[in-house]
């Protein structure tokens, strides 16, 4: 049995972080068959987090943001070729160039792309950009080098906020427009959203919340400015559209798999579901495109746009692709991510949006060093640190053991009178930026699904 699983043909669609780590894990676990990686970008796998940070500061060339190999993968690389479909009956991946790749087992790791500006004509204006790929970041860095008079960032999620931070570090004037009440609020809730708003303003960002950009203005094909929903206008030479990510699932529309705008659904072992909710045993999913149930969060289906999740889920998926049933593992890692902006290190464990209350357990907003702990129905579900990274491991254990919320006092730097307040995670509909963790299941008390009784 195991002998069969370590032979045959495996195709991985998606040649970024998850695809690469899966390929390496397959080989490390003894897969000796034929391995093919398909990627629509013309580059070997590269690392995206530096693209919105070091690269925009001009300290690192975008082309240098590669990934180190853990081991040789001995694979066929089909780069610069888009996969256009899957035929689950003949077990073939269809390629946009007309080719067909037969597989015995398939891993889907197609990730996400930047959500484009909704008006295509305005999106084509010279100076309107998104940041997702190596070319995007190189292009924006070049624009910033040219010293624009003002940069407009549309959407104040992590990417938008990091871009604004890089602009300010370069001394450039920047306006951030966010439809929600504060930056980062979609991922971190009200307490840290308010903190982020003060932080941005203290660093000279012209932050505008509660407004939308209704149109991008141009002259002679070049961006000249933008108009807001309250009728005001600003002038800008560069507009960065940071409206969150779109999952790359359209190519699976005719595959019969449970793929849609929220991702491709899979079980805890990374096996994809069909559209009928039946689990497959030859199609696996990992990384940003996956939507999977997590026992720590009431088996809610999660879609995580996290570097760490891409690595860990790829390792589990690859292990399960070459292991017989009883030896398969569930993907149970506690979600974690980081962001650095405006000189601060923000780190998160758990799922902050899976919360009803928060408390500042250590430090304070005034100090600029703090740990915010999130609870849902009386247990700890997440913690976010600002310049307090060494403490997160402690809170990770509390999350893993479903410890009671609010957490017991103990830290030397705890506030004298800790307050528990609502977590104020807004409905994603009101935000410009998408949340980087999407709770995609149905919690009736969150009104993610509205049931209307007949009559």
Least spacing, CB of residue 338 vs another protein, in Å: 5
What residues contact residue 62 under an 8 Å CB cut-off, 6+ apart?
51, 55, 134, 135, 137, 138, 141
Q: How far apart are CA 371 and CA 363, in angstroms?
A: 7
Q: How far apart are CA 107 and CA 112, in angstroms?
A: 15
Under 8 Å between Cβ of 186 and 180 = yes
Q: Which is nearer to another protein, 262 or 396 (CB)?
A: 396
Tokens of 424: 């104020």
Q: Which is nearer to another protein, 32 or 343 (CB)?
A: 343
Q: Which is nearer to another protein, 54 or 191 (CB)?
A: 54
Least spacing, CB of residue 33 vs another protein, in Å: 18
Q: Which is nearer to another protein, 77 or 228 (CB)?
A: 77
Q: Could you give the dihedral angle defined by the CA atoms of residues 128, 16, 106 and 110, in that order, rounded to the nearest 10 degrees?
A: -20
406 cis-preceded (ω within 30 degrees of 0): yes
Q: Which DSSP letter does residue 393 get?
A: H
Under 8 Å between Cβ of 142 and 126 = no
Least spacing, CB of residue 365 vs another protein, in Å: 16
Least spacing, CB of residue 442 vs another protein, in Å: 29
Q: Which is nearer to another protein, 63 or 96 (CB)?
A: 63
Least spacing, CB of residue 71 vs another protein, in Å: 8
Note the residues at the interface with another protein (CB under 8 A).
15, 20, 42-47, 49-50, 53-54, 59-70, 72-73, 77, 79-80, 134-135, 137-139, 307-308, 311, 336-338, 340, 343-345, 347, 369, 387, 389-390
The residue behind tokens 């809170």 is: 395
Least spacing, CB of residue 412 vs another protein, in Å: 18
Q: How far apart are CA 183 and CA 179, in angstroms?
A: 9
Q: Which is nearer to another protein, 42 or 324 (CB)?
A: 42
Q: Which is nearer to another protein, 79 or 211 (CB)?
A: 79
Q: Which is nearer to another protein, 50 or 99 (CB)?
A: 50
Least spacing, CB of residue 131 vs another protein, in Å: 13
The residue behind tokens 């509390």 is: 398
Least spacing, CB of residue 216 vs another protein, in Å: 23
Q: How far apart are CA 112 and CA 157, in angstroms?
A: 16
The residue behind tokens 């609870």 is: 375
The gap from C-alpha 386 to its chain's centroid, in whole angstroms, comes to: 19
* Phi/psi of residue 390, nearest 5 degrees: -65, -20
């Amino acid at each position: 049995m195991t002998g069969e699983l370590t032979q045959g043909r495996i195709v991985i669609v998606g040649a970024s972080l998850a695809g690469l780590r899966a390929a390496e894990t397959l080989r490390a676990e003894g897969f000796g068959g034929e391995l093919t990686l398909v990627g629509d970008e013309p580059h070997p796998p590269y690392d995206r987090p530096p693209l919105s940070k070091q690269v925009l500061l001009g300290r690192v060339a975008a082309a240098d943001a590669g990934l180190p190999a853990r081991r040789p993968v001995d694979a066929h690389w089909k780069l610069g070729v888009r996969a256009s479909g899957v035929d689950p009956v003949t077990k073939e991946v269809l390629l946009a160039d007309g080719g067909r790749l037969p597989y015995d087992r398939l891993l889907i790791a197609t990730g996400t792309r930047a959500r484009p500006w909704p008006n295509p004509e305005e999106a084509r204006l010279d100076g309107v950009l998104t940041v997702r790929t190596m070319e995007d970041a190189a292009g924006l860095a070049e624009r910033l080098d040219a010293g624009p008079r003002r940069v407009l960032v549309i959407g104040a999620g992590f990417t938008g906020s990091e871009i604004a931070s890089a602009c300010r570090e370069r001394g450039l004037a920047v306006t951030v427009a966010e439809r929600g009440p504060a930056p980062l609020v979609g991922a971190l809730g009200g307490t840290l959203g308010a903190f982020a708003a003060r932080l941005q303003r203290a660093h000279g960002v012209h932050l505008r919340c509660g407004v939308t950009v209704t149109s991008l203005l141009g002259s002679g094909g070049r961006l000249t400015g933008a108009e807001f929903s309250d009728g005001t206008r600003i002038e800008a030479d560069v507009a960065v559209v940071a409206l969150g990510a779109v999952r790359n699932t359209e190519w699976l529309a005719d595959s019969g798999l449970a793929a849609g705008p929220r991702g491709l659904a899979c079980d805890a072992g990374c096996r994809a579901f069909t559209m009928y909710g039946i689990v497959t045993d030859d199609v696996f999913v990992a990384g940003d495109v996956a939507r999977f149930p997590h026992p720590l969060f009431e088996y809610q289906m999660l879609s995580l746009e996290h570097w760490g999740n891409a690595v860990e889920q790829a390792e589990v998926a690859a292990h399960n692709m070459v292991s017989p049933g009883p030896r398969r593992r569930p993907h149970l890692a506690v979600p974690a991510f980081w962001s650095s902006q405006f000189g601060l290190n923000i780190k998160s464990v758990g799922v902050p949006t899976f919360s009803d209350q928060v408390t500042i357990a250590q430090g304070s907003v005034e100090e600029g060093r703090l740990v915010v702990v999130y609870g849902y129905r009386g247990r700890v579900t997440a913690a976010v640190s600002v310049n307090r990274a060494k403490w997160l491991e402690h809170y990770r254990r509390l999350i893993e053991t479903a410890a009671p919320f609010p957490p017991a006092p103990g830290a030397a730097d705890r506030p004298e009178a800790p307050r528990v307040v609502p977590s104020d995670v807004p409905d994603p509909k009101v935000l410009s930026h998408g949340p980087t963790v999407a709770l995609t299941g149905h919690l009736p008390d969150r009104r993610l699904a509205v049931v209307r009784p007949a009559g």
